[in-house]
Amino acid sequence: MGADHDHGGDHHHPGLAEDLSLGEPARRLMAMEELLVEKGVIGADEVRRVMDVIAARSPVDGARVVARAWMDPAFKLRLLEDPRAALAELGYPVVSGSKLAVVENTENLHHLVVCTLCSCYPTSLLGPPPDWYKSFAYRSRAVVDPRGVMREFGLEVGEAVEVRVVDSAADLRYMVLPRRPEGTEGMAEEDLVALVTRDSLVGVGAPNQPAVNS
């Protein structure tokens, strides 16, 4: 099945993970949560419940959405125009208050997702973000040298292809709709799911290639 990348395991990339400390916005958020629990505005059980919902999600959920979009052009159009409604069709409600935008990679355009302030990520669909996504090195370098960062992940994007970096924020999260690999015509939807990697859902990687029968 091409390169050996699973949907969830962390990868280690030189220069991307040397700083995993929480940023100021994350520390501020934790302090606000503790204060709200202390004042009785929200309950600790409620916080844990939401966290459990997020933890139950994984990149496989995003992969199922991508595979459906590859198989169904009408669904793909709805996903790009109104992600929340399209996801609801598949039983994936966006539980956070933020909006979700789905951006499509094409032959001439490649998207790379980053959160330059902290670690904003579509957790209600993809699960918790990987450590490298939260690192200062990735957050700073993805903006100034996106091709170099993708190269460290093993992805080479041609110079003729426009690379567009999209910055996630608290009120707007991004997911990439990667290009469908060649040679997958006629494959079942579940087999397509297995080709979609977590890295491809944020643009630092590409889907796996289908296995070649000898």
Q: Looking at the annotation, which residues are catalytic?
A: 115, 118-120
Alpha-carbon distance 171 to 213, whole Å? 45
Measured distance CA(114)–CA(203) in Å, rounded? 9
**Distance in angstroms (rounded) separating the CA atoms of residues 7 and 100:** 20
208 in Cβ contact with 154 (< 8 Å): no
Per DSSP, the three-state class of 100 is: strand
Backbone φ and ψ of 35, nearest 5°:
-70, -40
The Cα–Cα gap between 124 and 62 comes to 10
**Strand, helix or coil at 72?**
coil
